[in-house]
Structure 1
Amino acid sequence: MKITMGALAAGVGFGAATSLINAFSSPYGELGAPLAGTVWASAAKVLSLLMDAGWSWAALAVAVGWLAGTTVRGALVGALALIAATGAYYVTDAFASGAGTDMVRWWVAGLPLGLVLGAVGAAIRRPGLIGLLAALTVPVGAAVQMVVLPPRPHLTLTPTIVLAEVIVWTAAVFSAGWVVYRFWAARRTAVAG
């Protein structure tokens, strides 16, 4: 029950925060207009590019699945976190920027994706190749998204877009490196012991 409530809270917090950051990052909205041209607007734009990316939503489901521990619980809380995040995102969007919703469509997508990603998160705890592949899911997913669908809402590169891309690439490379290092260190320990 505790992990379920935690996944629900994480989802609601992530979805609402993503929507608010998007609202603050837009110079055309009521919340973002007063920040236009300031360092806070640039910071909000970078955060918006990071949080409103598919890999970061996937990371939410993987993280709560990892915390759940078992595959079944991981799958359930992964789906719950994505459904809660989607609901909070669109409810906050309606209040923060008067936007319409695609909530049902994203709930339909979030349920099976959350089940799979939550189970992947739980599998990170497993030793061996399964744990390695599960732990590489988010960093590899972020790298693939950066190649296929980089966070470029404009045709021209801006400093905020470049910074967001550098942050994602750096985090993906270091995360994947750490995961591989941990895998090989465990392997050496098992062989030596």
Structure 2
Amino acid sequence: MKIMAGGIVAGMGFGAVTSLVNALSSPYMELGMSFTGTVWAKAAKVLSLLMDAGWSWAALAVAMGWMAGTWVRGALVGALALVAATVAYYVTDAFVSGAGTDMVTWLMVGLPFGLVLGVVGAAIRQPGLVGLLAALTVPMGAAVQMVVMPPRPHLTLTPAIILAEVIVWTAAVLGAGWAVYRFWTERRAALFMQRVQSG
């Protein structure tokens, strides 16, 4: 029960902060106007490019699933986190920017994806190939999104866009490297134990 509540709280926090950061990073929003040209606006722009991306929402559900531990709890917590994040995002958007909402559409998308991604997060704890593939999901998803749909809202590259892309690529490489390293370390340990037991 505690992990379910944690998933809801984490999702609400993630969704609300993403909406606020988007508003702060935009010179066209009331919140962002007063920060235009400051270091805070630049930082908000980088955070906006990082948080308002599909891979980061997927990472939320995966992280919650990993914390839940089992596949069933992982599925439930992953779905709860994405649903809570979606509701919080659009409720916050309504207050900070008066924007319209397509919340129902994203709830219908978030629920099944949250279930699947929560299971993926729980599967990271598994040894062997299952754990490796699960651990590679977010890094590979981030890399694919960077190739197919990079965070470039403008035709020209800005320092914020470049920094966001460097952060994503670095995190994707480090995440994939950690997953592969863990897999090979576990495999070597298992082979070593087999030799000890047979010899």
Question: TM tier, shorter chain?
Answer: over 0.9
Cα displacement (A) at 1:132: 0.3
How many percent of aligned residue pairs carry the same amino acid?
A: 78
Q: Looking at CA atoms only, which structure, 1 or 2, has the larger radius of gyration? A: 2
Aligned length: 193
Runs of 4+ in 1 over 6 A off after TM superposition: none
Cα displacement (A) at 1:81: 0.4
Report Cα offsets for 1:108-130 as digits up to 9, x if no partner: 00011000000000000000000
Residue correspondence of structure 1 range 1-193 to structure 2 within 5 A: 1-193=1-193
TM-score by length of 1: 0.99
SS of the equivalent of 1:35 reads coil
The 2-side partners of 1:157 and 1:106 are apart by 29
Cα displacement (A) at 1:149: 0.4
Cα displacement (A) at 1:107: 0.2
Report Cα offsets for 1:31-67 as digits up to 9, x if no partner: 1001000111000000000000000000000000001
Report Cα offsets for 1:129-187 as digits up to 9, x if no partner: 00000000000000000000000001111110000000000000011001101110111
The 1-side partners of 2:60 and 2:86 are apart by 12
SS of the equivalent of 2:72 reads helix
The 2-side partners of 1:182 and 1:131 are apart by 9
The 2-side partners of 1:103 and 1:144 are apart by 25
* Root-mean-square deviation (Å): 0.5
Cα displacement (A) at 1:23: 0.5
Cα displacement (A) at 1:19: 0.2
User: Unaligned 5+ residue runs, structure 1?
Assistant: none
